């Protein structure tokens, strides 16, 4: 037999052995362990199957080499699959962590807005109560609008300068008595707008 015929026979043997292996060699951990522990039996089964189908006496050493080569491919496929799963899992965990952080930030923001709305509602209620008091309105010659403007300005002063509410009255001087400097004055003008 010349070299070309021998090479062709080996090529056909490779193809036939791989076709037989395709039926049993799927890339799973269990299948890999099964093939590794039963290499000799699989060599015998593949060689026998080739002989029964074609009458060709397969070289068992060559069939074993084909099976071992296939085992390496299966190991590599399983490793790649495991790496892809690990990357996907890490990506999912990162997305879940980011989503949790976004939800926590949103919950914090909503809590702050709720708290601010409650403070403003309480201030509006207190403003309404003050406006109902006759002696308070008398300080403004009975003009409810002036009284309301004063209360709103007082609320801005208390909020922006962090003052005690009782300190701010009609006789308070913002610069001297309340201790506001030029930066506070600028802040107040922006807040009043």
How many Å from the N-terminal Cα to the C-terminal Cα in the chain?
102
- What's the structural domain count of the chain? 2
Domain hosting residue 44, numbered range: 3-96
Q: d(Cα 190, Cα 187) in Å, to the nearest integer?
A: 5
Whether residue 127 sits in one domain with residue 83: no
Q: d(Cα 62, Cα 43) in Å, to the nearest integer?
A: 9
Cβ atoms of 71 and 36 closer than 8 Å: yes
Q: Which of 52, 74, 96 is the last residue of a domain?
A: 96
Within 10 A of 78 (CB to CB), how many other CB atoms are there? 15
Q: d(Cα 3, Cα 169) in Å, to the nearest integer?
A: 112
pLDDT by 10s per residue, the chain, length 193: 578 887 888 888 888 888 888 887 777 778 778 888 888 888 888 888 888 888 878 888 888 888 888 888 888 988 898 899 999 999 999 999 999 999 999 999 999 999 999 988 888 887 777 666 656 666 766 677 777 777 777 777 777 777 677 766 666 666 555 566 656 666 656 666 6
CA 142 to chain centre: 60
Which pTM value belongs to this model?
A: 0.46
Q: Which of 69, 96, 123 is the last residue of a domain?
A: 96
Whether residue 70 sits in one domain with residue 27: yes
Q: Which residues contact 174 (CB under 8 A, 6 or more apart)?
A: 157, 180, 185, 188
What pLDDT does residue 178 have? 56
Q: What is the pLDDT of residues 139-153, one digit of tens each?
A: 766 677 777 777 777
For 85, phi then psi, to 5°, come to -60, -40
Whether residue 89 sits in one domain with residue 34: yes
Whether residue 83 sits in one domain with residue 102: no
How many CA atoms, within 13 angstroms, populate the side-chain half-sphere of residue 22? 6
Whether residue 40 sits in one domain with residue 53: yes
Please say whether the dihedral angle defined by the alpha carbons of residues 29, 33, 39 and 44, taken in this order, is positive or negative. Answer: negative
């Amino acid at each position: 037999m010349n070299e070309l015929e021998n090479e062709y026979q080996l090529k056909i043997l490779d193809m036939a052995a791989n076709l037989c292996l395709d039926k049993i060699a799927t890339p799973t951990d269990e299948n890999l362990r099964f093939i590794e522990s039963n290499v000799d039996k699989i060599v015998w089964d593949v060689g026998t199957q080739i002989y029964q189908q074609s009458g060709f006496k397969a070289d068992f050493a060559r069939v074993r080499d084909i099976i071992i080569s296939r085992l390496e491919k299966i190991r590599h496929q399983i490793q790649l699959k495991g790496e892809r799963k690990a990357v996907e899992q890490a990506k999912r965990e990162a997305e879940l962590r980011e989503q949790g952080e976004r939800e926590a930030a949103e919950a914090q923001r909503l809590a702050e807005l709720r708290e601010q709305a409650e403070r403003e509602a309480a201030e509006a209620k207190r403003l309404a109560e003050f406006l109902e008091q006759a002696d308070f309105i008398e300080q403004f010659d009975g003009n409810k609008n002036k009284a309301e403007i004063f209360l709103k300005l007082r609320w801005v002063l208390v909020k922006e300068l962090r003052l005690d509410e009782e300190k701010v009255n009609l006789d308070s001087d913002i610069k001297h008595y309340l201790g506001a400097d030029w930066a506070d004055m600028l802040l107040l003008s922006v807040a009043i707008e």
